[in-house]
Amino acid sequence: MNLSGRRILVIGGSSGIGLAAARQLAARGADVTVLGRDPDRLEAAVASIGAGASGRPLDVLDREAMAAAFAELAPFDVLINAATGGERAVGPFMNMDLDGFQGSFRKLWGYTNSVRLGASYLPEDGCIVLVSGSPARKCRPGMAAISTVGNAVEGFVRAVAPELAPRRINVVSPGVIDTPMFGGDGDDRQRFFERATADNLIPRAGTPDEVAAAIVFAVENDFVTGTTIDVDGGALLP
């Protein structure tokens, strides 16, 4: 896919991986619209992307608002959803508040909403990219909720890819990435990343741009669909 002049929606594009993807796509000549919950962050994101970018507030769990947004923004060629849907539960499963576990699936519901409501606006050569995470296939203690949701996202992509064809859908799976999602600052933040990635083949946190490059690959490569692209520093390997 030649991205020049293509219309691309990036949900969750106001920070982190989504914002990095929006910038890289815009740099390739795409007409990018970022969507997210926080109007102030959207305004800052659009300004950082530059000419041709636009923004629109959107809650991925509000189906009526999403349907209205897609109808207004259509037609578009690419739909990317990197939104988390809200907070995710962490900690031992047997001690976990089950409402928190269930709430972690807001990410999946936001993704299914966007695919169900947005796919019909895509042309035959259009595509969708979602984001899961390495815990989906290598779960560390305390990550049961995040792992289960990631598994669901990756299974969902494989399940719906045949229905969407010839339109494509893929998922990018990042490992530990240095984004605003992780709290702390200074030395505490650095120590967290060192501990979290110490056993990786590439023992450091990844960058949003490294994950965004995989999203761009999934958009541009017309021969990739129904698959998961790992960007995790070797976290899945022994």
* CB neighbours of residue 195 within 10 Å: 10
Cα separation, 77 vs 68, whole angstroms: 17
Q: Which of 69-73, 166-170, 195-199, 218-222 is predicted least confidently?
A: 195-199
For the entire predicted model, the pTM comes to: 0.94
* Tens-digit pLDDT profile for residues 144-170: 999 999 999 999 999 999 999 999 999
Per-residue pLDDT band for 183 (boundaries 50, 70, 90) equals: low
In tens, the pLDDT along 79-99 reads: 999 998 888 899 999 999 999
Kindly provide the residue ranges of all beta strands, DSSP E only, lying in the chain, ordered along the sequence.
7-11, 31-36, 54-57, 78-81, 127-131, 168-174, 228-231
What average pLDDT does range 58-66 have in this prediction? 97
Distance CA 221, CA 179 (A): 26
Domains belonging to the chain, first-starting first, are 7-231 (3.40.50.720)
> What pLDDT digit, counting tens, does each position of 1-55 carry?
999 999 999 999 999 999 999 999 999 999 999 999 999 999 999 999 988 899 9
